[in-house]
A and B are shown apart, each in its own frame.
Chain A
C-alpha cells in the first residue's frame, strides 16, 4: 500500500478519518497509532519488531535520562561536592545517551550498511588475494527506518540537552515516530513540533479537511503526472547508460532532477495534506528550491528537515566540542578571521556531508554526492567576501536581474550535475555518463528523433511540459507568499468546483499508471 494507491486513497484514509471522528477525543490518537502500525505491517510485515524495539528503547532511555537529573540531590552539599556530583551526573547521562544512540543508530547501520561494508571488504580481500570472503550480508529494511531513526535520535538528544522533558506517554512517543503519512518519506519532525498535536484528538474540521485534500490532490498531480511519467525515460537512460551520451545524458539529468522534485515534494504534499486533514501541522520540507542562488541556499530550501536535523545534531554538536573549538581558535589566529573561521567550520561541515551522502544510500556515488556539496559550500563560504569585493570594484550590482539569472543558471548546473551522480547506478556509471556528455555531444540528437526513443512519446513530453508549467506557476505564486488555497476558496462555487474537478480529472487521465507504464515506487522511501 502506498500513498498513491486506490486502496489507500479510497479505503484506508477515509476509513481512518471516519474512525478518528467517531472515537472520543482522548482516544483519537489510538486510532492514528493503530492505523500507522497497520500501514507499517502492510509494507514490512514482521520487520515491525525493529520499530517496536526503537520505540520501547527510546521511551526508556528518555525516562532514564530525566530521572538521573531528578535524583540529583544537592541539598547540604559543599561547593566542591556540588561540582563533583554534577560532573558525575553529567557523565552518567552522557553514557546513557550513548547507549540510546547506540541502539538506534546500531540498528540502522547494521540493517542498512552491513551489506555495503562486507562487499567492500570482500573487494579488498580479493585485491590482496586473500582466499576467504565474508558472507554477503543483506538485510531487509523496515519501511521508514532512515526517517524514524533520525526522529528517535532527535528526541533523545533533545531530552539530553533538556530542550524537552522526557515523555512518559508511550503511545504519544510511538505515534510521533510512525505517524503513517510521514512513515515513507518524512519530513523528519521534531518531537516539539508534532507530538502534542498528534495526541490532542481535535475533531475533524471542514476547512482543515478540504484544505488537506486539496494539498493531497496537488501532491498526486506532481507524483502521478510528472514523476511517474519521467521515470520511464530516466530508467531507460540510467539503466543502459553506455548507449547514451551528449544531449540525451544532459536531458536525463535535468528530467531526473525534475522527477525527484516532483516525486519527493509531491509525496510531502500528500503527507502534509494528510496531517492537515487531522488538524496536525507537519513542517514543510521544500521552499521552491530551484529559485535558489547558491548551493547553501539550495540546501535550505530542499529537504529542509534533513538540513535542520544535520545542523542541530551533527553540525553544532561537532563545532562545539572542546577539540574543535580549540582548532577553531588556532585557525582563526593563524589564517585570519574569515579564512580561519571557514577552516574552523570545515570538520563539522564535513561530518554533515558525510552523513547526508550516506544517509541517502549505500554506494560510493552517494559519498561522492556528499563530498561534492561539501567542497562547493566550503568554497562558497570561503569566497563570499572576495566575490562581494570584486563585484563592488567592477561596479556589478549583485541585485540586478542579469546577475541573479547568472547565479540561478550556475546553481542549476551544479544541481543537475550533482543529481546525475546521485542517480547513476555506481560511481563508475556516473563518471562515464558525465564524460559522455562531452565525448558524445551532438546537436543532431535534438532533431533526429532520438529523444523519442527514450521511453517518452510526444504526448508524454507534452504532459511533462504541462506539469512543468503548473509547478513553475505554483512556485512563483508561493515565492510571493500567496496562499493558493486561500485565493481559490475566495472564488464562487462554480469556479472553485471547476478547478477541483479539472485537477482531479487531469490526475486520473494524465497520470502515468496502468497499461504501458512501469509501476513506480516512491523514490525517497528507498532511502
Chain B
C-alpha cells in the first residue's frame, strides 16, 4: 500500500479523490516550513528537514484538522518522511 502511494500516478489519483484534505495537509506543512517542496520531498525526517520542534508544531495541527489522535507509537520516520506518508498515517488513524 505504501509503495502505491509513492507512485506519481497514484499521487494524482489521491489528489483528485481526497483533494480538499490533501490540500489542507499541504497548507499546514507549508505554514510550518514553507521552504520545502512537499510534493517531491521524501526524506523530511532522514535529512532533518523537519526537526523535532517542527514535528511538535505539526502534530496538534494535524490532530485538530483531521480529528485524529497521534501517539508515540506513530512517531516513526517512515510515517513522516513525505507528505504522502503523513497522509496515509492520517487515513490509518482515522479508521481506528
Contacts and interface: CB of A to CB of B under 8 A. Distances in A.
Contact of B60 (A329, A348, A381): A329
B48 A163 contact: no
B71 interface: yes
A163 B76 CA distance: 8
A328 interface: yes
A479 interface: no
Interface string B45-76: 00010011100110110010000001111011
A315 interface: yes
B49 to A, nearest CB: 13
A161 B72 contact: yes
B60 A325 contact: yes
Contact of B48 (A300, A312, A328, A344): A300
Interface in A325-355: 325, 328-329, 332, 341, 344-345, 348
B2 to A, nearest CB: 15
A345 B73 contact: no
Given A161-B71, A311-B52, A312-B72, 18 more contacts: A161-B72, A296-B51, A296-B53, A300-B48, A315-B56, A316-B72, A316-B75, A319-B59, A320-B59, A320-B70, A320-B71, A320-B72, A320-B75, A328-B60, A341-B53, A344-B60, A345-B53, A381-B53
Contacts of B59: 319-320
A162 interface: yes
A327 to B, nearest CB: 11
Majority secondary structure of chain A interface residues (helix, strand, loop or mixed): helix
Nearest to B54: A341
A190 to B, nearest CB: 11
Interface residues of B, number: 15
A55 B60 CA distance: 37
Nearest to A315: B52
Interface in B18-62: 48, 51-53, 56-57, 59-60
Contacts of A161: 71-73
Contacts of A24: none
A317 interface: yes
B48 A162 contact: no
A117 B36 CA distance: 48
20 contacts: A161-B72, A161-B73, A163-B73, A296-B51, A296-B53, A311-B52, A312-B72, A312-B75, A315-B52, A316-B72, A317-B72, A319-B59, A320-B70, A320-B71, A320-B72, A325-B60, A341-B53, A341-B56, A345-B53, A345-B56
Q: 4 shortest A-B CB distances, which residue pairs?
A: A161-B73, A317-B72, A316-B75, A341-B57
Nearest to B53: A381
A112 B72 CA distance: 28
Contacts, number: 41
A300 B54 CA distance: 15
A374 to B, nearest CB: 14
Contacts of A315: 52, 56
Contacts of B52: 311, 315-316
A120 B56 CA distance: 36
Contacts of A325: 60, 63
A346 to B, nearest CB: 11
Nearest to A161: B73
A163 B52 CA distance: 19
B80 to A, nearest CB: 11
A348 B72 CA distance: 13
Interface string A479-494: 0000000000000000
Nearest to B48: A300
A494 to B, nearest CB: 40
B72 to A, nearest CB: 5
A325 B72 CA distance: 13
Interface in B71-85: 71-73, 75-76
Nearest to A319: B56
A159 to B, nearest CB: 11
User: Which of B48, B52, B60, B75 neighbours the largest number of chain A CB atoms within 10 Å of its CB?
Assistant: B52
Contacts of B48: 300
Nearest to A192: B76
B37 to A, nearest CB: 19
A315 B51 CA distance: 12
B53 to A, nearest CB: 6
B62 to A, nearest CB: 12
Contact of A332 (B60, B70, B72, B73): B60
Nearest to B55: A316
Contacts of A332: 60
Nearest to A338: B57
Interface in A206-228: none
A296 B72 CA distance: 22
A133 to B, nearest CB: 42
A126 B91 CA distance: 60
A91 B17 CA distance: 38
A338 to B, nearest CB: 9
Nearest to A322: B69
Interface in A283-330: 296, 300, 311-312, 315-317, 319-320, 325, 328-329
Contacts of A316: 52, 72, 75
Contacts of A312: 72, 75
A311 to B, nearest CB: 5
A58 B76 CA distance: 22
A319 B57 CA distance: 11
Nearest to B31: A337
Interface string A367-384: 000000000000001000
